[in-house]
Structure 1
Amino acid sequence: MTNINKVILFNPKSAIAKYRIPNSILNIAASIEGKYDWAIVDGNCEADPMEKIESYLRTGEYGYLGFTVMPGPQLKQAIEIAKAIKIKYPYTTMIWGGYFPSNQPKVVLDSKYVDFIINGPGDNAFPLLIDALENHKPYEFIKNLIYKADGKITKTIKEDLLDQDSLPPLPYNKLNNFYPLGKFLGKTYLGEHTMAYHSSIGCPFTCSFCAVVPIYEARWKAKSAQTVYKDIKYIKDNWGADAIEFHDNNFFVSEKRSVDFSKLIKPERMTWWGMARIDTMDKFKDSSLEIIRESGCKCIFFGAESGNNEILEQMDKGGTQTGEQIIRFAERLKQFDIIPEYSFVLGTPAATPEKVQKQIDFEINFIKQVKAVNPKTEIVIYTYTPVPTEGSELYKQVLEQGFAYPQTLEDWISPAWESFDLRKNPLTPWIKPEMIDKIRNFETVLNGVYPTVTDIKLNDLKRKSIKLLSTLRYKTNLYKYPYEIKLLQRFWQYRQPEIQGF
Structure 2
Amino acid sequence: MNKILLFNPRSANNKYRIPNSILNIAASVDGKYDWVIVDGNCEHDPMVKIDSYLSTGEFKYFGFTVMPGPQLKQAIAAAKTIKQRYPNTKMIWGGYFPSNQPNAVLYSGYVDFIINGPGDLAFPALIDALEKNEPYEFIRNLIYKTTDGKIIKTAKEDLLDQDSLPALPYDKLNTFYPITKFLGKTYLGEKTMAYHSSIGCPFTCSFCAVVPIYEARWKAKSAQNVYKDVKYIKDKWGADAIEFHDNNFFVSEKRAVEFARLIKPENMTWWGMARIDTMSKFKDSSLAAIRESGCKIIFFGAESGNNTILEQMDKGGTQTGDQIIEFAERLKKFDIIPEYSFVLGTPAPTQEQVQSQIDFEIDFIKKVKAVNPKTEIVIYTYSPVPTEGSELFKQVMKSGFRFPETLEDWISPAWEAFDLRKNPLTPWLTPEMIDKIRNFETVLNGVYPTVTDIRLNMIKRMAIKLVATMRYKASMYHYPYEIKLLQKVWRYRQPEIQGF
Q: TM-score, normalised by structure 2?
A: 0.99
Are 1:356 and 1:431, in contact at CA under 8 Å, matched by a contact in 2? Answer: yes
Matches within 5 A, 1:448-487: 448-487=446-485
Three-state SS of the structure 2 residue aligned to 1:335 is helix
Which residue number in structure 2 is paired with residue 111 of structure 1? 108
For residues 199 and 451 of structure 1, the distance between their equivalents in structure 2, rounded to whole angstroms, comes to 30
The answer on 1:148 being equivalent to 2:148 is: no
Query: What is the Cα deviation at residue 35 of structure 1?
Result: 0.8
Equivalent residue for 2:81, pick from 50, 60, 84: 84
Matches within 5 A, 1:168-207: 168-207=166-205
Three-state SS of the structure 1 residue aligned to 2:124 is helix
Are 1:262 and 1:295, in contact at CA under 8 Å, matched by a contact in 2? Answer: yes
For residues 319 and 276 of structure 1, the distance between their equivalents in structure 2, rounded to whole angstroms, comes to 16
Query: What is the Cα deviation at residue 315 of structure 1?
Result: 1.1
For residues 59 and 14 of structure 2, the distance between their equivalents in structure 1, rounded to whole angstroms, comes to 30
The answer on 1:26 being equivalent to 2:23 is: yes
Equivalent residue for 2:487, pick from 486, 489, 494: 489
For residues 11 and 390 of structure 2, the distance between their equivalents in structure 1, rounded to whole angstroms, comes to 30
Three-state SS of the structure 1 residue aligned to 2:334 is coil
Are 1:190 and 1:244, in contact at CA under 8 Å, matched by a contact in 2? Answer: yes
The answer on 1:242 being equivalent to 2:249 is: no
Query: What is the Cα deviation at residue 51 of structure 1?
Result: 1.2
Three-state SS of the structure 2 residue aligned to 1:36 is coil
For residues 307 and 483 of structure 1, the distance between their equivalents in structure 2, rounded to whole angstroms, comes to 28
Matches within 5 A, 1:208-357: 208-357=206-355
Q: TM-score, normalised by structure 1?
A: 0.99
Structure 2 residue identity aligned to 1:324: D
The answer on 1:61 being equivalent to 2:58 is: yes
Three-state SS of the structure 2 residue aligned to 1:343 is strand
Three-state SS of the structure 2 residue aligned to 1:301 is strand
Query: What is the Cα deviation at residue 393 of structure 1?
Result: 1.2
For residues 404 and 186 of structure 2, the distance between their equivalents in structure 1, rounded to whole angstroms, comes to 35
Q: CA RMSD in A?
A: 0.5
Which residue number in structure 1 is paired with residue 130 of structure 2? 133
Query: What is the Cα deviation at residue 200 of structure 1?
Result: 0.2
Structure 1 residue identity aligned to 2:37: I
The answer on 1:166 being equivalent to 2:164 is: yes
For residues 456 and 161 of structure 1, the distance between their equivalents in structure 2, rounded to whole angstroms, comes to 38
For residues 394 and 294 of structure 1, the distance between their equivalents in structure 2, rounded to whole angstroms, comes to 40
For residues 180 and 407 of structure 1, the distance between their equivalents in structure 2, rounded to whole angstroms, comes to 39
For residues 208 and 469 of structure 1, the distance between their equivalents in structure 2, rounded to whole angstroms, comes to 38
Q: Deviations over 1:315-373 (max 9, x none)?
A: 11114110000000000000000000000000001001000000000000000000000
Are 1:205 and 1:319, in contact at CA under 8 Å, matched by a contact in 2? Answer: no
For residues 260 and 226 of structure 1, the distance between their equivalents in structure 2, rounded to whole angstroms, comes to 8
Are 2:242 and 2:271, in contact at CA under 8 Å, matched by a contact in 1? Answer: yes
Overall identity of the aligned pairs, in %: 82
Task: Tell me the matched-pair count.
Answer: 499
Equivalent residue for 1:414, pick from 412, 415, 418: 412
Three-state SS of the structure 2 residue aligned to 1:147 is strand
For residues 393 and 126 of structure 2, the distance between their equivalents in structure 1, rounded to whole angstroms, comes to 33
For residues 260 and 417 of structure 1, the distance between their equivalents in structure 2, rounded to whole angstroms, comes to 42
Q: Deviations over 1:147-173 (max 9, x none)?
A: 011211100000000000000000000
Structure 1 residue identity aligned to 2:395: Q
Gaps of 5+ in 1: none
Are 1:18 and 1:187, in contact at CA under 8 Å, matched by a contact in 2? Answer: no
Three-state SS of the structure 1 residue aligned to 2:379 is strand
